[in-house]
Chain A
């Protein structure tokens, strides 16, 4: 177990380094940079050179890259303020440490993503199990039909509709806003309830369908039939045998979906005009802000890799045949 975590962590660090390198060199390979953007239309070469120098863009590329990467471990010193250990450079556009910007914005995106995951795992898997358990009944038909239709909705369409109904027309809820959990847990939940529900609706629908078909498939397996034939109660067989087997493909798909989940958080925050990581990514891209883009990409990749390791551990826990090696 410990060995597995260590090995995967090393792999993750290598991947992060490669993603950082890919991001960096793709970004600087593009013919435009922040300096020429900041300098404006009628820009004198001297002024451009000044800006480039101030940002450190005149250094050799390898030096720039090395400074950035070593800064993550060792921290860096900038003329206007230093940047302690997990330093992701200084944003050109915001003139602030990227790490501080991300620490400021990340809790929102993580609240959306993690809240959404918890929501859809409980509701989606529960509904799917119920539909499979009562296969062919009205419950099953309603659940299947509703999940089919709802999985075709998009966050950016469902979001405005929900806002229209619950906020603009009836006034039952207030506009979604982010209150830090540590400050006010109730306010956090109330403020983010609409975004989390909208985001999880689509995933709930997809996982309902998946859970249902996966359990139905498991119920036809021979070991399940044998268990039933030797007189085990239906409920016991359902939860002990079929459910466990059915979770294996679902955990696999969850592992594949993690990047989509983070993306779902980004779409949700853009839909509800919340200030999270997605907004930072858009700013970094539009303003050609290299450190900001690097930081956002690395933090995003970090969470995807972390979740993947967690999913693999969960995988081994559900299916004893899987060895973590």
Chain B
């Protein structure tokens, strides 16, 4: 039988042990006054934002799916390249009818083909989709990171040094902004690819990826550069920068220690908006027929194919389309939440 006093006793006895005593100490501190870093404050605000948390989970889910694509296709037992409708190995379990349309309901959804099959070829849509997402997401991560680094570099240099440097960097930025970017993407994808490979030969997929990366990079950094420049321009006039200057710090040190930590927030927020829009641009390239081509699985390519099949087999465009809408929606909401968490004043 445990009496209240006894329990209290044992409690205090435990508390006397040095290790546990210290944990109770920090627990007490937490309720009292405590210096919280901006990052921690942001995280706490973000955790209270239910939409933000759900969207973060969805976005992470998409990234996890594309990371685990080989594993998932091993479970489903399909792969994105096999022509299940034409390959004689699979002749005993036909997936297409005589007109090349999927057998069964909703684009041929079955235990083997979870999202159905592609008309004519009979490729597995589930495998094509998750591998396509993989291509798109990783490309977008690479492109966005490059864009961000370039934009920050140009923005910081222009904003901090000002004067003639700023003027010319500004003109260059304006020049790139006046390019009709979508037309340019279409027109220059084959040109850039031709730098790497003889056009009469088959282009390896990773060269195409590299070409997409370069084209999107060259025409994509301007937004970030403008944003960073304006932030740095405002920062430059602040007292703590002046103090650093007076105390004799070199420009390199001021940029590294004073300016860069202060532009992390807007850059991060811009990055979360940049990533989904890059995914859409890559999808657009493949849709227009100049990005990834057959048989590389790619999200945008599924739309180009789906648009052809809409009349006969609408289910084919349904799955990748809904997935894209959910992904972009969540990413945009996540961007809003990240912005709100960093800057609670910017109400919606």
Say yes or no: is A3 at the interface (Cβ < 8 Å to chain B). no
The interface stretch among B83-91, B95-103, B184-192 is B184-192
Q: Is the CB of A18 within 8 A of B186?
A: no
Say yes or no: is B177 at the interface (Cβ < 8 Å to chain A). yes
The interface stretch among B136-144, B149-157, B236-244, B283-291 is B283-291
Contacts of B333 in A (CB 8 A): 148
Say yes or no: is A154 at the interface (Cβ < 8 Å to chain B). yes
Q: Is the CB of B317 within 8 A of A152?
A: no
Mask: chain A, 130-157; 1 = CB below 8 Å from B; 0 = not: 0000000000000000001101111011
Mask: chain A, 251-262; 1 = CB below 8 Å from B; 0 = not: 000001001101
A160 vs B322: C-alpha distance when bound (angstroms): 13
A135 vs B322: C-alpha distance when bound (angstroms): 30
Q: Is the CB of A304 within 8 A of B180?
A: yes
Binding site for B on A (CB under 8 A): 15, 18-19, 23, 26-27, 29-32, 36-37, 41, 148-149, 151-154, 156-157, 159-161, 163-164, 168, 213, 216, 256, 259-260, 262-263, 266-267, 270-271, 277-278, 281-282, 284-286, 288, 293, 296-297, 300-301, 303-305, 308
Mask: chain B, 65-109; 1 = CB below 8 Å from A; 0 = not: 000000000000000000000000000000000000000000000
Say yes or no: is B34 at the interface (Cβ < 8 Å to chain A). no
Closest 9 CB pairs of A and B: A263-B182, A300-B180, A152-B329, A157-B321, A160-B310, A152-B328, A32-B199, A30-B194, A32-B194
Mask: chain B, 286-319; 1 = CB below 8 Å from A; 0 = not: 0111100000000010011011001100100100
Please pick, from B200, B289, B317, B347, the residue contacting A160 in the complex, using a CB distance under 8 A: B317
Which single residue of chain A is at the shortest CB-CB distance from B181? A259
A303 vs B177: C-alpha distance when bound (angstroms): 13
Say yes or no: is B195 at the interface (Cβ < 8 Å to chain A). yes
Say yes or no: is B260 at the interface (Cβ < 8 Å to chain A). no
Q: Is the CB of A285 within 8 A of B188?
A: yes
A266 vs B183: C-alpha distance when bound (angstroms): 8
Tell me whether A301 and B179 are in contact in the complex, defined as CB-CB below 8 angstroms, given that A157-B321, A278-B186, A278-B288 are known contacts.
yes
Say yes or no: is B263 at the interface (Cβ < 8 Å to chain A). no
CB-based A-B contact count at 8 angstroms? 149
CB of A112, distance to nearest CB on chain B (Å): 13
Which single residue of chain B is at the shortest CB-CB distance from A31? B194
Contacts of A263 in B (CB 8 A): 180-183, 284
- Interface SS of chain B: helix
Say yes or no: is B164 at the interface (Cβ < 8 Å to chain A). no
Q: Is the CB of A26 within 8 A of B190?
A: no
Q: Is the CB of B191 within 8 A of A157?
A: no
A73 vs B333: C-alpha distance when bound (angstroms): 50
CB of A130, distance to nearest CB on chain B (Å): 17
Which single residue of chain B is at the shortest CB-CB distance from A270? B288
- Interface SS of chain A: helix
* Interface core residue of A259, A285, A303 (most chain B CB under 10 Å): A285
A22 vs B195: C-alpha distance when bound (angstroms): 16
Q: Is the CB of B179 within 8 A of A259?
A: yes
Which single residue of chain B is at the shortest CB-CB distance from A302? B180
CB of A269, distance to nearest CB on chain B (Å): 10
Contacts of B348 in A (CB 8 A): 213
Contacts of B186 in A (CB 8 A): 266, 278, 281-282, 285
A259 vs B223: C-alpha distance when bound (angstroms): 13
CB of A270, distance to nearest CB on chain B (Å): 6
Contacts of A270 in B (CB 8 A): 287-288
Q: Is the CB of B284 within 8 A of A41?
A: no
Which single residue of chain B is at the shortest CB-CB distance from A156? B303
CB of A50, distance to nearest CB on chain B (Å): 19
Please count how many residues in chain B sit with their CB below 8 Å of the partner chain's CB atoms.
49
Extra pairs beyond A277-B183, A304-B179 (7, CB < 8 Å): A32-B194, A149-B329, A168-B311, A282-B186, A284-B187, A297-B179, A308-B178
Q: Is the CB of B177 within 8 A of A27?
A: no
A30 vs B321: C-alpha distance when bound (angstroms): 36
Tell me whether A282 and B290 are in contact in the complex, defined as CB-CB below 8 angstroms, given that A154-B324, A259-B180 are known contacts.
yes
Which single residue of chain A is at the shortest CB-CB distance from B184? A297
Q: Is the CB of B188 within 8 A of A19?
A: no
CB of A69, distance to nearest CB on chain B (Å): 17
Contacts of B190 in A (CB 8 A): 285-286, 288
Mask: chain B, 162-204; 1 = CB below 8 Å from A; 0 = not: 0000000000001101111111101111111011001110000
* Interface core residue of A157, A262, A271, A300 (most chain B CB under 10 Å): A157
Q: Is the CB of B287 within 8 A of A163?
A: no
Contacts of A278 in B (CB 8 A): 182-183, 186, 288
Contacts of B324 in A (CB 8 A): 154, 157
Q: Is the CB of A259 within 8 A of B177?
A: yes
CB of B189, distance to nearest CB on chain A (Å): 7
Say yes or no: is B210 at the interface (Cβ < 8 Å to chain A). no
CB of B223, distance to nearest CB on chain A (Å): 8
Contacts of B311 in A (CB 8 A): 163-164, 168
Contacts of B184 in A (CB 8 A): 297
Q: Is the CB of A157 within 8 A of B303?
A: yes
Contacts of B347 in A (CB 8 A): 216
CB of B291, distance to nearest CB on chain A (Å): 12
